[in-house]
Amino acid sequence: MLPGRVFDDVTRKMLPSARVAVVHLFRHGEVQTGSARVCRGVSDVPLSARGTTQSSAVAARFLREHGAPDRVLSSDLSRCRAMAEAFGAPVELLPGLREQDMGAWEGRTWESLSIDDPDAVHAYWNDYARARPTGGESWEEAAARVGAAWAALGPLEGRIVVCTHVGPVRALLCAWLGLEFDQALRFAPAYASEARVLLAEAGAVVEQFGRPPDP
């Protein structure tokens, strides 16, 4: 149990285990893609100037409120590493926490794909969980990869920071809450937003979702 941690009665019943991890899930900050909707996937797209400011701001707020984290985990792509490094602790890079691989669609706008590859785009949005982008991985495959990377960490406790992408945030929340992966789009974390989840042997409790950077 975290030192000094006090839970309400309902949460205490949900989390009877003495081992509790408080996981702070951060989506990376804004990236340099302009206003167009782009398939970034596993492309190593850098943060915009605003995204860099967002990353510093959420890390500074975390350190003010909680002090140093016990562990910092991050996708190995630079837009996540940049945020993770701002927490001032050793960063564990996990390639399994990368975004969904969008294959031949990487770096393309949805507008151009809808013109050049309309059948594949239609099939993708018709069966989001199972359809594959041309040459890429399906959402179910990506979510399974993320889940395997998390499971490989073994039992966790303490306060854990995770800096990753919108897809892995959705995948982890679905897995922890027992939701089917085709329900993932119900979660819409914005750039640099934070979700806080309590994890114990008995299950997960979402304390907070979608907290934005401070103005």
Q: What domains sit in the chain, N to C, each tagged with a CATH number?
A: 9-211 (3.40.50.1240)
- Kindly report the number of other CB atoms within 10 A of residue 172's CB atom: 25
Q: Using one digit for the tens of pLDDT, what is the confidence trace for 90-129?
A: 999 999 999 999 999 999 999 999 999 999 999 999 998 9
Q: Using one digit for the tens of pLDDT, what is the confidence trace for 12-62?
A: 565 555 678 999 999 999 998 766 789 989 999 999 999 999 999 999 999
Catalytic residue among 24, 28, 137, 165: 28
User: Bigger pLDDT: 46 or 11?
Assistant: 46
- Please indicate whether residue 28 is annotated as part of the active site: yes
Give the per-residue pLDDT at 3: 44
Tell me the HSE value of 22 on the side-chain side, using a 13 A CA sphere. 17
Q: CB–CB of 29/15 below 8 Å?
A: no
- The separation between CA 79 and the C-alpha centre of its own chain, rounded to angstroms, equals 12
Q: Is 71 strand, coil or helix?
A: strand
Q: CB–CB of 193/214 below 8 Å?
A: no
Of 34-43, 75-84, 155-164, 187-196, the poorest mean pLDDT is in 34-43
The mean pLDDT value of the chain amounts to 91
Catalytic residue among 30, 99, 140, 194: 99
